[in-house]
Amino acid sequence: MNGAASSMDVKKENRNRIYRLIARNGLISKADIARRLHVSLPTVAQNVRDLMTGGLVRENGNLESTGGRKAVALTRVKNARTAVGIDITRLHVAVVVVDMEGEVVARARKPLPFATNSAYARTLARVVNRLVSDSGIEKNGILGAGVALPGILDPDGRKVDSYVLPADGHECAAITRYLDYPCVFCNDANAAGLAELWTGQSPDTFVYLSLSNSVGGAVILDRKLYSGGSERAGEFGHLTLVRGGDRCYCGKRGCIDAYCNAGLLSDLAGGNIAAFFQNMELGDRSAQAAWNRYLDYLATAVNDLRMAFDCDVIIGGYVGAHMAKHLDDLRQRAAKLDTFLPDGSYVKVCRCLFEPSAVGAALLHIERFIDSI
Ligand SMILES: [Zn+2]
């Protein structure tokens, strides 16, 4: 590496560290930045000027003084850029727009049965474009669209194989061919795991168990997604829970998915998972029996994950969003199965409750952009 390149790298690294510190702190002064990053005040001032010129950082009042002149507070511009997140399921599409903090600023969910034809791709583009225009989001500030799919992506993210969608070997780009944005694709449960990481309330290493209409998961090691040798890590839905048991949509018998997918519950309430929980909590006997059975299988699955990974297991997906009231029950059932300690406190409930797969897919663009600052 020559001297000029190396000094450019140092400059860029400083700017990036300064941006991330401002983003993390909410409000911070230049002097605090200099002190915390061990960078000179003129360097901080120059970088802050650059970030302000780029519209990424702004001044936001003064900080309380500890004596002397009050320091100017710097804050990140939340809506400097946004990204679209799309979660494609067999029968629906969910679309969100998230800002630089990962906060959802616009959302839509529509029935849209998946198909590989151009009518589907056109409708998808229309749903996204309408959401963007209706919510008044600056189109030029949109970094791109992230698309979460219930399937296995090849390592380049170009093709998807799926048991859930009629899309085996389908070119991802064909799905988004009428969208005006650069698109990236990812597995839906992996995206949800990333969204959980972004809440800032998860540990650095955890297993995310996504309990939606199919069961999937994500392995987050040291804040990075572990994809495995062939992009299939975290496919917890197809671990065998009951040998020779109920039929799974993958063709095997006894998979976790056959016992823990959210449809087993929502189907008892007209396809509405919130209604299922409401009925069950109001004392509906058949809902309570189904929940009791479901929780026993879930506790077994959770204990297996704990034995394999020895880290927190975060319950996510449609069921995870309703799990808070029932967490103690699940923990007790899991603790009874634990070989080492009768303690289920490692089981946690997800913090990203709203469309985690769509949010996580959008965050792929936000993350990439922040890396480039
Ligand atoms: Zn299966």
Distance 359 CA to ligand 1 centre (A): 26
DSSP bridge pairs for 97: 84, 106
* pLDDT computed for residue 230 by the predictor: 85
The answer on 86 and 55 residing in a single domain is: no
Q: How confident is the model at residue 2 (pLDDT cuts 50, 70, 90)?
A: low
Domain finish residue from 76, 93, 110: 76
In this predicted structure, the answer to whether residue 81 has a pLDDT above a threshold of 80 is: yes
Distance 235 CA to ligand 1 centre (A): 9
The answer on 213 and 331 residing in a single domain is: yes
Using an 8 Å Cβ cutoff, are 255 and 238 in contact?
Answer: yes
Which of 216, 218, 158 lies closest to 184, judged by CA? 158
The answer on 245 and 322 residing in a single domain is: yes
For 275-300, the pLDDT digits (tens) are 999 999 999 999 999 999 999 999 99
* pLDDT computed for residue 170 by the predictor: 86
**Average pLDDT estimate for 162-169:** 82
Distance 248 CA to ligand 1 centre (A): 5
Distance 253 CA to ligand 1 centre (A): 7
Domain finish residue from 28, 53, 76: 76
The answer on 235 and 145 residing in a single domain is: no
Give Cβ neighbours of residue 316 (< 8 Å, ≥ 6 apart): 192, 193, 196, 208, 209, 210, 211, 350, 352, 356
The answer on 88 and 72 residing in a single domain is: no
In this predicted structure, the answer to whether residue 50 has a pLDDT above a threshold of 60 is: yes
| Domain housing 328 | 202-349
Distance 233 CA to ligand 1 centre (A): 14
In this predicted structure, the answer to whether residue 323 has a pLDDT above a threshold of 90 is: yes
Burial class from Cβ neighbours inside 10 Å (0-12, 13-18, 19+) for residue 301 reads buried
Question: How much is the mean pLDDT over the chain?
Answer: 94
pTM: 0.91
Q: For residue 180, what are its two tokens?
A: 């005006």
Distance 116 CA to ligand 1 centre (A): 23
**Average pLDDT estimate for 128-157:** 92
The answer on 240 and 340 residing in a single domain is: yes
In this predicted structure, the answer to whether residue 86 has a pLDDT above a threshold of 60 is: yes
The answer on 214 and 337 residing in a single domain is: yes
For 194-248, the pLDDT digits (tens) are 999 999 899 999 999 999 989 999 999 999 999 998 889 999 999 999 999 999 9
In this predicted structure, the answer to whether residue 5 has a pLDDT above a threshold of 70 is: no
The answer on 363 and 322 residing in a single domain is: no
Distance 254 CA to ligand 1 centre (A): 7
Distance 214 CA to ligand 1 centre (A): 9
The domain spanning residue 156 has which CATH number?
3.30.420.40
In this predicted structure, the answer to whether residue 3 has a pLDDT above a threshold of 70 is: no
Distance 172 CA to ligand 1 centre (A): 23
Distance 258 CA to ligand 1 centre (A): 7
The answer on 326 and 280 residing in a single domain is: yes
Distance 225 CA to ligand 1 centre (A): 22
Which of 285, 100, 274 lies closest to 198, judged by CA? 100
Rounded to an integer, what distance in angstroms lies between the CA atom of residue 173 and that of residue 279?
A: 42
Distance 271 CA to ligand 1 centre (A): 21
Ligand 1 is an ion; residues with CB less than 5 A from it: 238, 248, 250, 252, 255
- Count how many domains the chain has: 3
Distance 163 CA to ligand 1 centre (A): 9
Using an 8 Å Cβ cutoff, are 98 and 363 in contact?
Answer: yes
The answer on 101 and 23 residing in a single domain is: no
pLDDT > 90 fraction of the chain, expressed in percent and rounded: 84
Rounded to an integer, what distance in angstroms lies between the CA atom of residue 2 and that of residue 185?
A: 36
The domain spanning residue 10 has which CATH number?
1.10.10.10
